[in-house]
Amino acid sequence: MAEFLSQREKLMEALRLYLIVCDNDLNGAENRGGTSAGILRQFPLVDVTMATLASVVVENVWDIAEIPKLSTEDVSQRYIKSTSRTNFPLAPEKAWRVLALAIEGKIDLDDQPRCFERIRS
């Protein structure tokens, strides 16, 4: 959906959706629709030990943010506003700090699996 919106130049809405994807990833959210309750008790839908970030999503966040020349602080405020209503284990401010490191290139998302160890720590 974010890519679709981006192609139609609805950049701020696309950015919001990419930020939500990052929040889901940083909180270890899993897409397991239709899974039985018994399995979900054993393997919860949200597990921060499974936190990841997709390099393409992080690149899209920054590519979109550069078009209107948003600062890192502007993106941070949008991230926190877009994710503040989630009920995830990580506070949006804490998750943002990890995403900011990835945006700044301080976490090499192509260095797998070491980057995921760093994200999770």
pLDDT < 70 regions, the chain: 32-33, 35, 39-40, 42-44
Give the per-residue pLDDT at 117. Answer: 86
Give the per-residue pLDDT at 113. Answer: 83
Take residue 29 and report the two structure tokens written for it.
Answer: 């959210």
- Is this model's pTM higher than 0.85 or not? yes
Determine if residue 119 is left, alpha or beta; phi over 0 gives left, psi from -120 to 50 gives alpha, anything else beta: alpha
**Three-state SS across 9-78?**
CCHHHHHHHHHHHHHHHHCCECCCCCCCHHHHHHCCCECHHHCCCCHHHHHHHHHHHHCCCCCHHHHHHH
Give the per-residue pLDDT at 87. Answer: 86
List the domain boundaries for the chain.
2-120
Give the per-residue pLDDT at 121. Answer: 83
Give the per-residue pLDDT at 40. Answer: 61
The HSE-up count of residue 105 (CA atoms within 13 Å, CB side) is 0
